[in-house]
Structures are given as C-alpha cells and as structure tokens.
Chain A
Amino acid sequence: MEEWYNAIKSADSIDKIEEIRIAVFGKKGIMNAEFARMKDVPNEEKGAFAKELNIHKEGLNALLVDRKLFLAMEHLNASMKGEAIDVSLYSPVSERGSLHPVMETMDRIVEYFVAMNFSVQTGPMVEDDFHNFEALNLPKYHPARDMQDTFYFKDAKLLRTHTSPVQIRTMMSTKPPIRMIAPGSVFRRDYDLTHTPMFHQVEGLVVEEEGKVSFANLKFILEDFLKTMFGDINVRFRPSFFPFTEPSAEVDISCIFCGGSGCRVCSKTGWLEVLGCGIVDPNVFKAVGYENVSGYAFGLGVERFAMLIHRIGDLRSLFEGDVRLLEQFR
C-alpha cells in the first residue's frame, strides 16, 4: 500500500494521476483485489481487515483528489504564464470624439437657466427689420444699423444681429409672465482677430406685472449665473447703454487669469467684460403691445465664455474644425 501513497505524491501530471486512479480504484485495481481477499480472511479478523482497507481507501482517494487539484492548478498557472502580456504596451488612447467647446458651453448655460425655470425659445436666423431693430427701440437711423454691421439680403430681409428678435416673437405670441432664454447663432459683418461674421449668443428675458421686477432681481440672477459658470469670482456692474434696456449695465467678472491684480488678458484692469443687461425699455413693450409690465433682459456671447472658461486664445480657431483643438475636449 505504502508504495501507492508514494506514487500519488510523486505523480507529475494529470495523466499520471489518472493512471494511478485506474490502477488503484479501477475495476481491476488493487482496491477491488484487496476487497476480494476478504472472503479468505477468517471471520473474526474480517472486521479489522475491512476497517484497515477502508482507511487506505479513503486515504488514497483524498490524496489523489488533492494531488489532482494541485496539478490542475499548476497546469493552469503554467498556461496563464504563457499568456503573459506587457500591459504597459496597451495604455489606450481614447478614440471618443468630443462636443465643440462653444456648443458645450452653450449647453451648460442652457442647463443653468432651465434649472431656474426659464423656457428655451428659438427663432429664424433670417429676420426682418421690425423684429431685429424697430421693435427693439433701434430706430431707423441708429448707428448700430449701419451696413457695416448687418448682413442684408436683396429683399430687405437681414441676418439677425442678436437673438433679441426671438424675445420679440415670444412676447408677441404669448402673454406675460415670461421667463425665457434664446440661444442661437447671430451675425455681424465683421471679420478680424476678435470678430467672426457668425457667433453665438444666449439672451434672456423676464417679464412680470408692473412693479414686480427690479434691478436688484437682475443682479441676483446674473451674479448667481456667473458664479455657476466661472466659480469663485467677483462680479461688477457698470452703467452702460443699450437701445432696448434702460437702465443698462455691462457686467464684469474679476479676471480669472490674474485674480484681479491685472494682466495682459484683462488689459491690466483686473476685470473681464462678459455680459450686457438692463431693465427692458418701455418702448420695447410698447412695440409688442404690452401694458403695465416690467422686466429685465440680458445677453452674452457664448464664444467669449468658452474662450475664457477653456483658455482658448484664438477666436477664429473655433470655426476651423481643427482636430488638434477639438481632441483636447474628449
């Protein structure tokens, strides 16, 4: 018996183990042979004989199973070792695409205002004089209406110079109260380092009954919005002038590059102009036939936001579809 124990212990392959198993436990194996000897054993010794044989049977079997498991593990390990791979060769480079930084910035802006219960409104890019100028208190001979600034068509239509005509259209087709933004492309006849003939704006308008909307409300939402977009910055309002708002203000944020101490980007002023806003001019309400209302409006250039947020230096690069820029936004 002892030799079988040694044989199992020294077996070095699954095949060998199988051979031993057959030799020990097979039909013609030694175990059956031993049990067959039982009939020759005197009756009083039968008990002890059987007991000893059973001990060996169990012992050999347990050893066999153990050894087989061990060898299987060894085999697996060896085969896995053969599959070894230099993982450092396979660091992946993402092949995902990306959203355009201007469009992604626009998405963020829209999301903010949607969360503030603003509606999203759109309108045509080819507009008429009334919606783009007249109704916005830009009278016929206003300097902003120069041919230099506006793209006109032969039939006297024009490409909208801002998304404000969407506000006019919304006011004319619905009743107050209104809480809306108008995101979209706008067009000015200007093309140099800091101007492109097309760019994107988001404009906002809130109209409530007379006396309900104040400049303090406008300050609240714009301060909150700018902090959402730019993080921990200071916000400054400067009185300004727009034909469609009165009072009007331009809004600056403390320079995100120098923190306000003055640098090249902020022309050493410590401030970056990012928004225009104001209380809606009564002439605008008059043009759309609204009475006894008050409201505020604001507008911003999405490219400017995207360039500041993502530190993009060249405006024109945003319209060139250059993969070297776009792949950075994966």
Chain B
Amino acid sequence: MIVTKNWLNEWIDLSAVSTQQLLKTFNAIGLEVDRHDVINVPQGVVIGFVESCEKHPDADKLNVCQVNVGTDVRQIVCGASNVRAGIYVAVATVGAQLPGGLIIKEAKLRGMDSYGMICSSKEIGLPSMGEGIMILDASIGLLESGKELSAYPIFNDDIIEIELTANRGDCLSIHGVARDLSAAFNKELRESTQKLEQEGRLGIGRILQLQHAETYDVELLFGAVEIKELSVPFLITLRMAILEENSLSIMDTLLKYATHSTGVVLRAYPFGMLEETGTGKSVMTLSHDENGYAALYGKEKLSIVGVSQREEGRFLANSGLAIIEASYISPDIIAKKMGETKVVSCPHYYHTSRGSEPELEMGIRYVMRLFEKYTQSAIYGGNLEVQSSSETRVVTMDEGEFESFIGMKIDKTTLTQILKNLGMGISKPKASTFAISVPRFRHDILNKQDIIEEIVRMVGIDNIPSKALVFTEKNQNTDDLETYRKIRTFRQRCAQSGFFESVHFVFNERSLCERFGFECTQKEMELLNPITATFDTLRPTLMLGLLNSASANGKVNQKKIALFESGMVFDTNRIESKRLAFIISGGSMGEKLSNAGKAPVIDLATFAQRISDIIGSFEMSAYTPIHTLAHPYMCARIIINGAEAGELFRVHPSIEAEFDLSPTFMCEVKMDALPYGLVQAQPFSKFQASFRDLSLLVPKSLQYEEIKAIIVKHASVEIQRFYPVDRYVSDALGDNVSLSIRFVVQSMEKTLEEEEITVAMESILKGLNEELGVGLR
C-alpha cells in the first residue's frame, strides 16, 4: 500500500507531524514501512506559461517557445512533441540543478538561444508520467507563472510504502490509513460529510431500475453520471504515477484513484449495455450466475460483484451516460466462494477479498465529486442500493482481561479513548465490563484477543514491560531431546574426525535415483508440485547429495574432500528414518612436508578406520547393495553388535568418472543402529596376556569372515581376541595366500602356562584344518 504524506493530509491534518514521527508511528502500530522516498523538486524550477510555440527553422524536432516565467518572457527551445502554446509547464531556469546533476545554462540550439528547459516529470525527480513534458493544471493549486514548483505541496511530498498484513484490508486506502493514524495520534479525521447538492438534478430513478429476486450477501450502491470530455487532471496523473499505474483508461484511472483514496470498490458501466424496457428506463438485474456468484446483468452479463467485470461491460469512452457501482462483500464469504469455485478475477478482487470499505456512499460521493470538479459531467441525483443484513459484532471483555493478556495495567480512560479512536462503540453493562461493538470496516476483529491487539498496537509494544514468567518446573528430558543429543554427539565426532558437515535439501531427482537403483516414494504418494525437475522426489538416501557436493568441490580443485550429513531419508511410503552418511574423495590427508606433497589417496582400510573413529568398532562383510553406486568388489555391509547398520563402499569407477571424482569412498549408516548410551564396565583379567601369531596358507577365494567364524567356534575362553596382521601374496604360493593372525591369550584366573596356550591354539588349528582344509604355512 503506497501513501503520500500530502494525500493523507487530505483526510487527517498532519501539518504538525514530522515525517520521521510519521514513519515511526506506522511501524509502531503495525503498518510496517517498506520504503520511503522523498519528492523534492529542485530550486529554480518554476511554473511557466507557453505563450507561443513555433517550429525551429533548422530542426524538425525542435520547437522555439516564448515562455512567461512571471518576471519576464523567455525563449526556450524544446524538443518534446507535446509542447504547444497555451499550456502551463515546469521550467528549469538558468542556474537550476536537476537531480541527475545537470546544471541549466544559457544555450544555443541549432543557432537559437534557449534560456532554460521545459521539463518532463523524470527530469525533476518525479515518477515517470509518460512521454514528453509535464503539462500542469489547476489541480495542483493556483497556477502562477514564476512560482517555484517546490512551493506547491504536491511537489514536496513523502512517498511511503506500507507492507500491510493480510488482515488489514481496512488500510488498503488513504482514508483507511488516515483512520488508523487518527487513533494513533488521537486526532480526528477531517470532516468530509457534506452531501452532494441534490437540487436541480435529474433523479437516477428516472433512468435506472434495479431488479433482484432473492437476497444476496452483497451490498451495492449505484449512481449515474452523464460524462462529458473525461480527462485526468495533473494531480491524479502524478499520484497514479506514484502508484505505478500509468496504463489505465481515463475512466479506470479515476475509479482506481477513488478506490485508492476511499477503499470503496468502484466500477463503471455504459448505460447502453443495460436492458431497455421501452419506458425510458433501463434495467439492471442482480442474479446468481452459473457458478453461484452474485452477478449483474444488463443486455448480457456485465460483472461478478466484487470479482470481475466483462470487457463488454466496461465504460471505456470519454463521454456518455455511465452507471457507477460501489460494492462490498464480506471477505470471508468471497474468499470461501473463490476457494470452492475459482473464477478469473480482476484487480478489484484483491480489495474485495482483503476487506474493502463498506461505507459505499463515501466512495460514490468521492468519485462523483471528481467528475464534477474536473470535467463538465452532469451527475444524477440519488442512488439505488442493494443491502444485505449484517449484525454489529459485539465483543464483551472484563477490565482485568486487558491486564492479564498484556501484562501491564492500562487505565479505563485510556482504554476507552483508544477503542473510540478506532471507531469502536463502547457500552458498559456492568462496572468492570466493556461491551465493544466493532465497526464494519474491521472485519478482522472477532474476539477478545483481537481487541487486545488493538490496545497493544496503540499503547506500543515497546511500552510494555518485560516480565519473567513464573512457571512450574518440570523434567523436560524428553526422548526427542535424547535423540537430539545423540545426533549432536555423532555430528561432533564427525567434525573432530575431519569431516565437514553439509546440509542438502531433502529433494532428489527421481530419474537419477531410479537410474542408480534406489526406490523412491511410490507414484500415488509422489510430490504434486515440485519446484524443479531435479528436486521432484523425496530423497531415499543421503548419498546422492554428498556425491553431488563432492563433485562440485572437485570441480573447484579441492584435492581432499571429506563431508558428512546427518538427516532424514524417506522410504517408498514416505516413512522417515535418520541416517548418517560420509564421503571421502581424493586425498586421505592434506598435502604437506611429511608426505612430500603427495597425500596418500583414500583407501578402504583408511576410510573404514575414519568411520570407526566416529561410530565405534564394526564388522564388515561382503555385500551386494540394491543400488549401483558401489564398486562391486569393494563393498561392505556394516554390522554392529550382530545387526546390520549400513554400508560402506568405494564408488563405482564409472560413477567416479561421471561425477569427475578421484577415488571416492562412501558410507551410510542408520542412526538408530549406532550405539549410544551409558557403558556397562566388564570385568577384565589382571594376569599377563600372551600373543601368538598363526601364519595360515589359505585359498585366495576364501573370505576372512569364514575363517573368523571357524576360529570363533573353536576358540577357548582364554582367546581374548584375534586379528589379521599380515597378508602375503606370492607367485610361489599359487592360488593361496599367507595370512597371519595374531591371537591374544589371557585367563581371568591365572597367568597361562606355555602348554595351556599351545592347547588353545591347537584346538583352533584343528578346527580350521577339519572344516576349511586350512593349515599352517
């Protein structure tokens, strides 16, 4: 909503209010100031009267004008196509400095002297008002040649754009904003109640008849005017330019101006479009249309009330008999109707749906005055109206409620004054009770808290004290908090272990996911209105986001990329689960002196070690994933405490190539499968541990996990743990490899004798030999 200080001043006296005070007040009462521009026509730009205008002898496009600037008549050469004799114009006199920095000097244009410049609106810092120079008229005040433009209020103004919240349709007009200011400043609006002079006018009833069968939830008021030579005065043209409304027809410009001024939704219909009855009267019919909207009909359908107007029903001429309509529909009703049956709407609908001004007579009166003041039009007397029943809304409040909601005591006199200033009616059925009747233009005020909001706005939130709430203490350690802490712990470990946290949108590209073998949200439950084709499904994995980020980093020459993400993924039924995923691409550490500038490239063992620094020890077993991201021979299932927890793999070389990546490893685990919580200490042996290595000759194709299973099966209680320590491959060994496994042997009760250790080891060897045919090298 754009207002100017002068425009507001037509409704409320702001002469004693500084612009800064005005801006501050707007913010304080909830009309947020979005923009403030100053209109300030420079000194030396004066009113000039073009006494004569002749073609330049040596230039087709130039005119030589004799311009009266009060003190004298000056010759000015002007290139505008719309300059002519007999008009008032803005003249930048010699010495004036224009907003662009141009200083006006005496000049010779194609041999003709020129003492000044006839200006367009933009040249003197006003909004664009179309091609050519500004042609002034008396709408700005008495035109006196030589008078500084800046001496006229309209050229000395503040443009203020207010960001209105959705509930404040009542402030979608200069009048509405002034009304809110009048409450804030505790100052009455200017009187504007004088009725249009009715005497000597032809009554509207002589030419127009209104028909309607049922009752409708709309209110309408009609006036009639015989339009003659419709034109838009300078003042309105300038203000419409401020609103950036430059391309409307003349009638629409005047109606829009009146709507912006009063808040009343206004339309004009050509009388010829109404149905003739043969009695000299024409008929307009209000009826429900095919969609159930209240619509107006003449010879055919003219408009949907408050929503749209058919092209044929619009008054586009500059003269002729016009019917002017003011309408009001409760925004709740029209928004609901529009939600049920959407129809094409015109700009008026914005006003209607936000809550336009219900004081229709004011709107009609305002626009009729414009016709009368600025044109030769003749207005018909009286109005025709359609009314709907509406009850005044009353909110009853106890005095104490104001204090309990706001947290400070406000005295009765102040409360009463604020409410009255806002147009509310107040009666006091009981000593401590207020019965507050809400004016119709405040359709947003429904309950006590709406009334409280009005008080809070006018008192100013900054004037409310801050008070700590006294509350009942409560154990707030919810499961959600515990989960949050768990995730935070793992995230912190990731960061400590050299991974950067990244955050990706939960959207993925469905075709890409499917290409890689991931199952996405099932079709019937898929996103209806994705924002781009690359974000058209919910992510089934965190890995694609990480892969894309790693790729982007690689393209800017990052040699060591280690990222993680903690977040939700979605299954085919859109069920969420928490995951933690990692990627390392390229170097496993930074390039530095200690590695002679050649950081070792990440490998499976290093990657797995880095992951276990974060999630703890885990076992890996051979695995064929559902997706195709993985290198088929470097891919593991992660097992924690016997349960599957996720996967770890090298990225498939062809995908590495596709994403421009160096060797890359990824891992994704389920957050729920990660161990977290309090540790239970286990008893440990106080006796010495012994170490024994077994070097086995095993077939290359035999997986370690099979050997491991056999060892576990045959290990005595004294075998504390065992782990592979060397793997030796040689041509001499043929299809076998030599695998050395180190055993830690220890008893809870005593230091073991050599013999006892030997027995334990032999039992394992025997098992391996019998079940796998594996023996010592």
Please tell me if A61 contacts chain B, counting CB pairs below 8 Å: no
Hey, which chain A residues are within 8 Å of B449, CB to CB? 246-247, 279, 281-282
B277 within 8 A of A: no
Residues on the B chain within 8 Å of A126, using CB:
538, 570, 574, 576
- Contacting pair B549 A320 (CB below 8 A): yes
Interchain CB contact under 8 A, A239 and B406? no
Q: Tell whether A143 is near chain B: CB-to-CB under 8 Å.
A: yes
Task: Please tell me if the beta carbons of A217 and B501 are within 8 angstroms of each other in the complex.
Answer: no
Residues of A participating in the B interface, judged by any CB pair closer than 8 Å: 89-90, 93, 95-100, 102-103, 107, 110, 114, 117-122, 124-126, 140-144, 147, 151-155, 157, 177, 179, 183, 185, 187, 189-191, 196-198, 206, 208, 210-217, 219-221, 223, 236-241, 246-250, 269, 279, 281-282, 294, 318-324, 326-327
Q: Is the CB of A96 within 8 A of B506?
A: no
A120 pairs with B481, CB closer than 8 A = yes
Known: A154-B527, A216-B464, A236-B462. 8 other contacts (CB 8 A): A117-B473, A119-B474, A140-B339, A185-B568, A189-B529, A198-B505, A214-B405, A294-B404
Residues of B near A103 (CB, < 8 A) are 491, 501, 503
User: Closest A-chain residue to B454, C-beta based?
Assistant: A247
Q: Is the CB of A219 within 8 A of B464?
A: yes
Q: Does B450 interact with chain A (Cβ within 8 Å)?
A: yes
CB-based nearest B residue for A155: B525
User: Once bound together, how far apart are the Cα atoms of A157 and B563, in whole Å?
Assistant: 32
Contact mask for chain B residues 557-568; partner A; CB cutoff 8 A; 1 contact, 0 none: 010011110001
**CA A222 to CA B545, docked complex, whole Å:** 36
User: How far does the alpha carbon of A208 sit from the alpha carbon of B527 in the complex, in Å?
Assistant: 39
Q: Which of B404, B408, B532 contacts A191 (CB 8 A)?
A: B532
Stretch at the interface among B4-12, B163-171, B652-660: B163-171
Q: Which 6 A-B pairs have the closest CB atoms?
A: A216-B407, A321-B549, A214-B407, A239-B30, A141-B339, A241-B165
- At the interface, yes or no: B528 with Cβ under 8 Å from chain A? yes
Query: How distant is the Cα of A102 from the Cα of B500 in the complex, in angstroms?
Result: 13
B383 at the interface (CB under 8 A from A): no
Whole-angstrom distance between the alpha carbons of A211 and B566 in the complex? 42
Q: Which residues of A contact B507 (CB under 8 A)?
A: 197-198
Interface of B is mostly: mixed
Closest partner residue, chain A, to B504 (CB atom): A319
Which residue on chain A has the smallest CB distance to residue B485?
Answer: A120
Distance in angstroms from A195 CB to nearest chain B CB is: 10
- Closest residue to B472 on the A side, CB-wise? A177
**Chain B's nearest CB lies how many Å from the CB of A225?**
11
The answer to whether residues A323 and B574 also contact, given A97-B564, A220-B469, A241-B30 and a CB cut-off of 8 A, is no
Bound CA span A150–B495, Å: 34
Asked whether A97 lies within 8 Å of B407 as measured between CB atoms, the reply is: no
Query: Given that A97-B498, A117-B474 are known contacts, is A282 also in contact with B447, CB under 8 Å in the complex?
Result: yes
Establish whether residues B498 and A247, one from each chain, have CB atoms under 8 Å apart when the complex forms: no
- Interface readout for B505-537 with A: 1 if CB under 8 Å, 0 if not? 111000000000000010111111111100100
Chain B, residue nearest A104 (CB): B501
Shortest distance between the CB of A150 and any CB in chain B (Å): 8
A247 to B168, CA, bound (A): 13
Contact A100:B556 (CB < 8 A) given known A117-B476, A154-B524, A216-B407 = no
Instruction: Given the known inter-chain contacts A90-B593, A140-B336, A238-B32, please indicate yes or no for A120 contacting B167, CB distance below 8 A.
Output: no
Residue from B478, B494, B568 in contact with A121 in the complex, judged by beta carbons closer than 8 Å: B478
A279-B452 contact, Cβ under 8 Å, with A143-B166, A154-B526: yes
Residues of B within 8 A of A217 (CB): 407, 467-469
User: In the bound complex, what is the Cα–Cα distance between A190 and B531 (angstroms)?
Assistant: 7
Contacting pair B549 A97 (CB below 8 A): no
**Chain A residues, CB < 8 A from B461:** 215, 219, 237-239, 249
- Are A219 and B503 in contact, with the CB atoms below 8 A? no
B439 within 8 A of A: no
Residues of B within 8 A of A95 (CB): 498, 589-590
Q: Please measure, in the bound complex, the distance between the C-alpha atom of A223 and the C-alpha atom of B468, giving whole angstroms.
A: 11
A146-B448 Cα distance, complex, nearest whole Å: 29
CA distance A327 to B466 in the complex (A): 40
Chain A neighbourhood of B548, CB < 8 A: 321
Verify A96–B576 contact, CB threshold 8 A: no
Complex: chain B residue closest to A107, CB-CB: B488
Q: Who on chain A is nearest to B452 by CB? A: A247
Residue of B nearest to A92 (CB): B592
A220 and B563 contacting across the interface, CB-CB below 8 Å: no
Q: How far is the CA of A192 from the CA of B568 in the complex (A)?
A: 24
Chain B residues within an 8 Å CB radius of A282: 447-449
List of B residues within 8 angstroms of A236 by Cβ: 462
A279 / chain B contacts, CB cutoff of 8 Å: 405, 449, 452
Chain A residue contacts of B480, Cβ below 8 A: 119-122
Min CB–CB distance A147 → chain B (angstroms):
6
Known: A216-B464, A220-B467. A321 touches B32 (CB 8 A): no
